[in-house]
């Protein structure tokens, strides 16, 4: 199957580890990802609060570029996924948005020729490859590895693909790979997003409650599907520890990294060494 790949800015910068593991995994699954040519930032969670129009044009341009080619648009980042889906929804629903976008596109010589389907990488892996096939492909089960799955908020709401209160996709995938999935009530709680830079006190509390519960249930690591969640939970763990007087050292890994390990890929190709909290000690369990 051929897909159009919209990596988003993070995967080319702070989340290179995610990108590396994505490339490894999709190759194993015989999925072909072709990067959307000349893509730009999706606007993320910040632009809507600064400039509404910009926050509509940025993702819409990516869709216009993608519409030139065939195949669904696959997005690994929760924030990009939601930005792209949101503009699709708003353009379908509100005539004024549709008209404004078309007008500005006209000035830039762009045309929206179609509406490609936007899907999260996790969604594509589960729906197009399927758990059964993945189970058969597992070479090194993640036996004894205790994980909590943190889907984050933008994967599931408001336009996501899984149950917004108790998402199942990541749980099912991790179980299929052989990991032990622990109950986790923080699955879809916000990680603080960009508030980590503007209102750190608030965001630190949010990060802390996620990390603290992962410790309380006895998880070896937190599995994520979003570079923003990963950054907040991993890079700020030290500061959060200091603020709340804790000594947590919880590795935050991308689902594709664990998937790569289970499918037998070399751990050096999966960017695992790039995590600030190293996952290697926890990964000793699976050898």
Partner 1 sequence: MSGQKIGVYVCHCGSNINGVVNCSKVAEEAAQLDGVVVSKDYKYMCSDPGQEMIKADIKEKGLDRVVVAACSPRMHEPTFRKALEGGGLNGYLLEMANIREHVSWVTKDKEEATKKALALVKGAVNRVKYHQPIEEKEVPVNDATLVIGAGIAGIQAALQVAEAGHKVYLIEKKQYIGGNMAKFDKTFPTLDCAACILTPKMVDVGQNPNIELYTSSEVIKVDGYVGNFTVTVKEKPRYINHEKCTGCGDCATACIMKNRIPHEFDEGLSKRGAAYIPFPQAVPLKAVIDDQNCLLLTRKKCTLACVKACGRKAINFNQHETIHEFNVGSIILATGFDLFDAKRAPQYGYGRYPNVINGLQFERMTNASGPTSGHILLEDGTEPKSVAIIHCVGSRDENYNKYCSRVCCMSSVKFAHMVKDHTDAEVYEFYIDMRTFGKGYEEFYNRVQEEGVHFIRGKGAEVAQKNGRLVVKAEDTLLGQYREIPVDLVILNTALEPRVDAEKVAQTLGISRSADGFFLESHIKLDPVTTTTDGIYLAGCCQSPKDIPDSVAQGSAAASQSLAIIATGKVKISPISASVDENQCAGCRICVGLCPYRAIKLNEETLRAEINQAVCKGCGTCAAACPSGAIKVSHFDNDQLLAQIEGVLA
Q: Which is nearer to partner 1, 186 or 256 (CB)?
A: 186
Nearest-approach distance from CB 165 to partner 1, in angstroms: 5
Tell me which residue has tokens 């990802």: 33
Question: In the complex, what is the shortest distance from the CB of residue 166 to partner 1, in angstroms, rounded to a whole number?
Answer: 4
Q: How far is the CB of 213 from partner 1 (least distance, A)?
A: 8
Separation of alpha carbons 245 and 93, rounded Å: 48
**Residues 151-181 as b or e (16 or more Cβ within 10 Å = b):** bbbbbbbeebbbebeebebbbbbbbbbbbeb
Q: Which residues 6+ apart lie within 8 Å of 173 measured at CB?
A: 122, 125, 126, 131, 134, 255, 259
Q: How far is the CB of 158 from partner 1 (least distance, A)?
A: 11
DSSP designation for 126: I
The nearest distance, CB 212 to partner 1, in angstroms, is 8
| Beta carbon nearer to partner 1, 123 or 213 | 213
Of residues 17 and 208, the one with the C-beta less far from partner 1: 208
**Closest distance to partner 1 from the beta carbon of 95 (Å):** 19
Between the CA of residue 220 and those of 146, 175, 277, what are the distances in Å?
Answer: 5, 15, 12
Beta-bridge partners for 32? 2
Q: Closer CB to partner 1, residue 186 or residue 232? A: 186
Contact footprint for partner 1 (CB under 8 A): 163, 165-166, 183, 185-186, 213, 216
- Of 102 and 241, nearer to partner 1 (C-beta) is 241
Q: How far apart are CA 263 and CA 137, in angstroms?
A: 6
Question: Residue 252 Cβ, how far from partner 1 at the closest point, in Å?
Answer: 21
Q: Shortest distance, CB of residue 33 to partner 1, whole angstroms?
A: 33
Distance CA 25, CA 129 (A): 12
- State how far Cα 33 lies from the chain centre: 16
For residue 194, which of 87, 84, 78 has the smallest C-alpha distance? 78
CB nearer to partner 1: pick between 185 and 239: 185
70 vs 58: CA distance, rounded Å: 21
CA gap 215, 55 in Å, rounded: 37
Q: Which is nearer to partner 1, 56 or 151 (CB)?
A: 151
Residue indicated by tokens 């004894």: 144
Choose between 164 and 178: whose C-beta lies nearer to partner 1. 164
Q: Is the torsion defined by CA of 153, 158, 161, 167 positive or negative? A: positive
């Amino acid at each position: 199957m051929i897909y159009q790949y919209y990596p988003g800015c993070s995967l080319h910068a702070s989340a290179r580890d995610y990108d590396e593991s994505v490339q490894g995994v999709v190759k194993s699954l015989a999925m072909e990802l072709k990067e959307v040519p000349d893509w730009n930032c999706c606007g993320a969670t910040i632009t809507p609060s600064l400039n509404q129009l910009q926050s509509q044009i940025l993702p819409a341009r990516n869709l216009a570029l993608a519409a030139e080619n065939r195949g669904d648009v696959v997005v690994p980042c929760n924030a990009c996924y939601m930005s792209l889906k949101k503009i699709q929804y708003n353009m379908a629903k509100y005539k004024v948005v549709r008209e404004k976008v078309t007008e500005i596109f006209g000035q830039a010589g762009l045309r929206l020729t179609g509406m490609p389907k936007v899907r999260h990488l996790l969604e594509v892996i589960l729906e197009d490859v399927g758990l059964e096939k993945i189970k058969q492909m597992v070479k090194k089960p993640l036996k004894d590895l205790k994980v909590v799955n943190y889907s984050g908020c933008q994967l599931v709401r408001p336009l996501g693909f899984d149950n917004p209160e108790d998402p199942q996709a990541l749980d099912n995938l991790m179980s299929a790979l052989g990991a032990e999935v622990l109950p986790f009530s923080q699955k879809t709680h916000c990680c603080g997003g960009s508030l980590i830079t503007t209102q750190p006190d608030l965001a630190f509390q949010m990060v802390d409650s996620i990390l603290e519960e992962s410790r309380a249930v006895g998880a070896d690591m937190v599995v994520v599907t979003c570079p923003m969640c990963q950054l907040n939970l991993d890079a700020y763990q030290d500061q959060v520890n200091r603020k709340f007087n804790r000594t947590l050292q919880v590795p935050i890994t991308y689902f594709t990294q664990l998937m790569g390990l289970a499918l037998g890929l070399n751990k050096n190709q999966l960017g695992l060494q790039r995590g600030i909290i190293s996952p290697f000690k926890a990964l000793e369990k699976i050898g």
